[in-house]
Amino acid sequence: MERIDAEAELTRLRDAIDRVDDVLVKLLNQRAKYAIEIGEIKGHLALPIYAPEREKEVLAHVETTSQGPLAGGAVRRLFERIIDESRRVERESATR
């Protein structure tokens, strides 16, 4: 590949990543909205925010859903961060 072509390809791929990120952020916010609603219900029912069994289910679910190239462990680590943030928004909405 010529240098010029390679640089154009790099720009195209970076644009593609930006578009995926746009969708990812929308989806993460959609997920957070559900978490907020769950937090409100947990607050109403006086249930603990931290539900380890449910977190395990979520992690197992995404790990098996992934078809690569991300390995199961990589997906799990990414979702641990998503769950950390979900726990935080749930707590905020539960105490509101």
Partner 1 sequence: MVIVMEKHATDDAIERVVAVLSSRGFDVHRSTGSEQTVLGIVGRVDTIDTREFELYDGVQEVVRVSEPFKLTSRTWRREKTIVKARGVDIGGEQVVVMAGPCTIESETQLFETAKRVARSGARVLRGGAYKPRTSPYAFQGMGVEGLKLLRAAGDEFDMATISEVMEISQIEKMLEYVDILQVGARNMQNFNLLAALGQIRKPILLKRGMAATIQEWLLAAEYIMAGGNYEIILCERGIRTFETYTRNTLDISAIPVVEKLSHLPIIADPSHAVGRRDKVMPLARAIVAAGGDGLLIEVHHEPEKAVCDGPQSLYPDQFARLMDELKIIVPAVGRRI
Residues contributing to the site for partner 1 (CB under 8 A): 48-50, 52, 56, 73, 76-77, 80-81, 83-84, 87-88, 91
67: how many CB neighbours lie within 10 A of its CB?
A: 6
Q: Report the residue number, 35 or 49, with the smaller CB distance to partner 1.
A: 49
Rounded CA-CA distance 37/22 in Å is 23
Nearer to partner 1, 12 or 56 (CB): 56
45 vs 64: CA distance, rounded Å: 31
Identify which of residues 34 and 50 has a Cβ nearer to partner 1 in the complex: 50
